[in-house]
Chains A and B, each alone.
Chain A
Amino acid sequence: MDLVKAARKGEEAAFLQLFDEHHLPLFRFAYRLTGSMADAEDIVQECFLSLLRKECTYDPKRTPIRTYLFGIVRNQSLKRLRKSSFGLDGTAPLSPESEVLRNEMEDAVARAVMELPDIQREVLVLAHYEQMPLAEIAQVLGVELGAAKSRLQRARASLKETLAVYAPGMERKR
């Protein structure tokens, strides 16, 4: 049964089934790309509503719905990031000690991921947090498999360097 087709015909149950099956990973993805709950909410909402529009190019024969939806969320997130002034430039860097005191290792990781270039961050988030296979990531991003793979490697290498201070046994966390 084609849920998208049914949703376009006005079947609310089909639309809600689509939403329930996919919205959580899409929201997490949008949040980790934009760093904003409000933006993530807007983006995911727009993503599902775009399926109902006539100009929607989704073709179930060519692309699985999950891949298509991730692609929409990715494009919308990057568009917002380009427009917004989101960034960490104006933030005074915290010392590792104070971060630990504030139980902010999570913040440090978030900062490190958010500071990655967009093309590396999106691969890392999909691969690590959403456990998406590289072949599907390449499809979402519209790039070759090799490109996705090398972006992921660069992202991980960069993070190892940035987060090195937390590495030895991760005792700081405890």
Chain B
Amino acid sequence: MNDTELDQLLNTWDAPPAPASLRAGVLVGFHAGPERRKFRGVRILIAAVGVGVFLLAVTLALPQTLSLISPTVRAPYIVDSDVVRYRSDGTSSVEVHLASYNNNGSEIVVYEVSPSLLTDLQLGLQAVNSAWTRLTLPLALSPEMLEKANSIARGSIGLDHYRLCSQSFGCVGSGPALLHTGCVIGPVVGNETILEHPTVAVQSMLDDQRRRTMWMAPDLGCFALRITTEERRSDGTFRLVRKKQATKVTLTPGKSAATSRKTPG
């Protein structure tokens, strides 16, 4: 074999393009950088107080008015989940704790916290803010206002790219179409009961290197109680790189989870 032939052979090995999530991840890291971190606690405190005052005003003064203007929503359930990143060296870490539910097929994230980006103090402040948000938001706001308030809360900690409708997992659990197919939107690879909710496991390829499996619960409006993303090794087998796992399902008292479900067909 001469040098030219070797070069031609080597050229057959293409590297995949850099994922878009790389840029988002770098930006999040940039905004959490050391120069800005010292002001982060103050900013989070201001944001928490601001959101708290806003919510207090809304929940105390406007619910009746709002109910006249537009129908309010009440989360039928809240699912607590962890998103865990698995590295090839065998280590893993929780990227995000989040609480969410389905609203007509769209996943509404009530709150999310990234343990790796916050100090203990900031984590505490965020937890207070999140708890308040969780208690009040689903009770009195229209879906539009709820989403707006959520986006404000997310913006304050800069974690939007970690949302499940993102590069990490693709858009999942969204779209009325999902509800009309009984949660089956690809090859079914299994059935499993997770946290006492029957699920159907559906698998799909995100690209030629990665595949995603979602365990969706029909009785929770196709909410995915588990999502895994795996990456293809050079020998063709797959390695788990990220997993969202529900840790708790809390049904709202007086409201059945089935109220969020639409009968297929």
How many of chain A's residues have a CB under 8 angstroms from any CB in B?
57
Contact A49-B15, Cβ < 8 Å, known A38-B88, A83-B90, A170-B8: no
Residue of B nearest to A32 (CB): B15
A-B contact pairs, 28 of them (CB 8 A): A7-B30, A8-B35, A10-B33, A12-B30, A23-B23, A24-B18, A32-B13, A36-B239, A37-B209, A38-B242, A39-B88, A41-B21, A42-B87, A44-B18, A44-B22, A44-B26, A45-B29, A48-B30, A49-B33, A83-B90, A84-B87, A91-B234, A105-B12, A128-B10, A129-B10, A164-B1, A170-B9, A173-B12
Which B residues, 1 to 49, have Cβ-Cβ distances below 8 Å to chain A? 1, 3, 5-10, 12-19, 21-23, 25-27, 29-31, 33-36
The 9 closest A-B pairs by CB, nearest first: A83-B89, A167-B1, A91-B235, A28-B15, A27-B18, A84-B89, A49-B29, A109-B13, A38-B241
Cα distance, A163 to B6, chains bound together (Å): 8
Q: Which residues between 110 and 132 of chain A lie within 8 Å of chain B, taking CB atoms?
A: 110-111, 113-114, 128-129
Given contacts A42-B87, A49-B29, A83-B89, A31 and B16 within 8 Å (CB-CB): yes
Which residues on the B side are within 8 Å of A9 (C-beta)?
35
CB distance from A25 to the nearest CB of B (A): 9
B210 close to chain A: CB less than 8 A = yes
Q: Flag if A45 contacts B26 (CB, 8 Å).
A: yes
- Name B's interface SS: mixed
For B97-121 the 0/1 string (1 means CB < 8 A from A) is 0000000000000000000000000
Q: Cβ of A52 and Cβ of B18 under 8 Å apart? A: no
Give the chain B neighbours of A32 by CB distance below 8 A: 13, 15
Query: How far, in whole Å, are A7 and B191 apart by their CA atoms in the complex?
Result: 49
- The answer to whether the Cβ of B80 comes within 8 Å of any Cβ in the partner chain is no
Q: Is the CB of B25 within 8 A of A45?
A: yes
Given contacts A27-B22, A160-B6, contact A37 B1 (CB under 8 A): no
Q: Cα distance A82–B92 when bound, in Å?
A: 17
Confirm or deny: A61 has a beta carbon within 8 angstroms of a beta carbon on chain B.
no
